[in-house]
Amino acid sequence: MRYISTRGEAPILSFEETVMSGLALDGGLYVPEKIPKFTHRDLIELNNCSYAESAFRIMRLFIDDIDDKTLKILIKKSYTRFKSDAIVPLKQIGKNNFLLELFNGPTLAFKDIALQFMGYLIDYFLTKRDEKAVVMGATSGDTGSAAISGFCYCNNLEIFILHPDKMISEIQRRQMTTVKKDNVHNIAIKGNFDDAQAIVKESFKKNCFIKGRRLIAINSINWARILAQIVYYIVSAISVGAPYREISFTVPTGNFGNIFAGYLASKMGLPIKQLVIATNSNNILHRIIEYNDFSINNLVNTIAPAMDIVVSSNFERLLFYAYKKNSNAIKALFNKFNKKNSTIIDEKPLSKLRNIFYSTSVNDKMILSVIRKIYKRNGVIVDPHTAIGLIAAERCNTYPGIPMISLATAHPAKFYETVLKAGIEIYLPSSIKELLKKEERYCILPANLKKVHNYMFSVL
């Protein structure tokens, strides 16, 4: 499988090169040249497969530069640290309503599903190339811990994660700073998330190498992350009757990586009726789908912080398909957007998107009230991100006869302070309680590129 850029001016790459490079040189994002198809029979056969076996059968269609045996081993290792044998248990919460629990990985958020795999994948490529590399990323919460957990067993990697000092929750910080591995380096930046992010972006601009080691980005534009997420759409849909019946999904959405994987599953042949984009008050995606208003608003800090974004990077990948792979149109659209902070989508591609995508935006007050309501009705405690999805599923579900699967993206204990605000006291899993006792390791640095680089040089 070859990978092409959405803007059409970057070199065509293999799977390996795509995973190792991140953003395309022309500013676009890499997508597969063709989307492989799954027949009904291929889908039905997955009924007899474990999660890892299903993942192998789905992902190998996009990967032709790793042999089957190796790929199987990489996938198997990726899902050994999940608390449930189902990996992604599906819970029924109403006649045709289901909750897909994606939070059984080591850091209790759905990002584990992709980042555990990405760690083993990149380590494999580095070993093969006899290379060492440096992972660098900024986090406002969940990504950092999932990346550290996914990469800390990699022999060929050093990991530097920047977080804004005193601006993330204690649990989120401790999930990163209590990992006792010599290749893990946490840096608290005296500033906000944007300051930390700016340092990372600047580092990638300046050079892609540090002390002769390749810099690797872990943000959600990496193709490997999208790929690993396709799997649970297919696996869960099949367990409620696909491909014999249509299925809908609702996805708490920030950078559009998770729900884009659902779109790819539908392009592969999974009969998906609706994909509901659930946003918090940072609602650019909802404004696009509903009003064709593709413009930047100021960032709002919400109680669902993993979805606090101004622009959703992966939406460009979707537009590429909506515009029938016309990279010139995508380039023109984003040139205008980058100049004016605003653009519009042509009617035809937009109406195509509206055939499958629905959207809504949910404010903080609604989130708290729905956490209470779901607990009362089902005895199920959900985290604030998942709550947004459940409201959206209710608002946007126009086909009551079709099963609606809402994606639960984080364990409620991860956001227990917010859940408490909703009036529900939560039992903390032992893995979280232990975190509160463990010794932390991190350094605090000013929001200064040079100081951060000096530190990185000193430990490498």
Ligand X SMILES: *Cc1c(COP(=O)(O)O)cnc(C)c1O
Kindly list the catalytic residues.
111
Which x/- pattern, by CB under 6 A, does the window 406-425 give for ligand X? ---xx---------------
Under the binding rule (CB under 6 A), the answer on residue 306 touching ligand X is yes
Q: Which of 307, 333, 381, 391 binds ligand X (CB under 6 A)?
A: 307
Under the binding rule (CB under 6 A), the answer on residue 247 touching ligand X is no
**Binders of ligand X in range 115-144 (CB under 6 A):** 142
Q: Which of 385, 387, 413, 418 binds ligand X (CB under 6 A)?
A: 385
Under the binding rule (CB under 6 A), the answer on residue 254 touching ligand X is yes
Question: Cβ of residue 209: shortest distance to ligand X, in angstroms?
Answer: 28
Q: Which of 111, 173, 174, 331 binds ligand X (CB under 6 A)?
A: 111
Contact (Cβ atoms closer than 8 angstroms) between residue 100 and residue 125: no
Under the binding rule (CB under 6 A), the answer on residue 234 touching ligand X is no
**Binders of ligand X in range 142-161 (CB under 6 A):** 142
SS (HEC) of the chain: CCEEECCCCCCCECHHHHHHHCCCCCCCCEEECCCCCCCHHHHHHHHHCCHHHHHHHHHHHHCCCCCHHHHHHHHHHHCCCCCCCCCCCEEEEECCEEEEECCCCCCCECHHHHHHHHHHHHHHHHHHHCCCEEEEEECCCHHHHHHHHHHCCCCCEEEEEEEECCCCCHHHHHHHHCCCCCCEEEEEEECCHHHHHHHHHHHHHHCCEECCEEEEECCCCCHHHHHHHHHHHHHHHHHCCCCCCCEEEEEECCCCHHHHHHHHHHHHCCCEEEEEEEECCCCHHHHHHHHCCEECCCCCCCCCHHHCCCCCCCHHHHHHHHCCCCHHHHHHHHHHHHHHCEECCCHHHHHHHHCCEEEEECCHHHHHHHHHHHHHHHCCCCCHHHHHHHHHHHHHCCCCCCCEEEEECECHHHHHHHHHHCCCCCCCCHHHHHHCCCCCCCEEEECCHHHHHHHHHHHC
Q: Which of 256, 323, 358, 375 binds ligand X (CB under 6 A)?
A: 256
State how far the Cα of 100 lies from the Cα of 85, in Å rounded to an integer.
14
Q: Which of 145, 222, 248, 253 binds ligand X (CB under 6 A)?
A: 253
Question: Cβ of residue 138: shortest distance to ligand X, in angstroms?
Answer: 14
Under the binding rule (CB under 6 A), the answer on residue 258 touching ligand X is yes
Under the binding rule (CB under 6 A), the answer on residue 238 touching ligand X is no
Q: Which stretch binds ligand X (CB under 6 A): 42-50, 193-201, 250-258, 362-370?
A: 250-258
Q: Which of 13, 99, 109, 426 binds ligand X (CB under 6 A)?
A: 109
Question: Cβ of residue 411: shortest distance to ligand X, in angstroms?
Answer: 9
Query: What letter represents residue 258's amino acid?
Result: N
Question: Cβ of residue 129: shortest distance to ligand X, in angstroms?
Answer: 29
Question: Cβ of residue 220: shortest distance to ligand X, in angstroms?
Answer: 5
Q: Which stretch binds ligand X (CB under 6 A): 129-137, 253-261, 429-437, 442-450?
A: 253-261
Under the binding rule (CB under 6 A), the answer on residue 255 touching ligand X is yes
- Binding residues for ligand X, rule CB under 6 A, total 16
Q: Which of 21, 116, 220, 279 binds ligand X (CB under 6 A)?
A: 220
Question: Cβ of residue 407: shortest distance to ligand X, in angstroms?
Answer: 8
Complex with ligand X: residue 157 or 285, whichever CB lies closer: 285
**Binders of ligand X in range 274-293 (CB under 6 A):** none
**Contacts to ligand X by CB under 6 A:** 109, 111, 142, 220, 252-258, 306-307, 385, 409-410
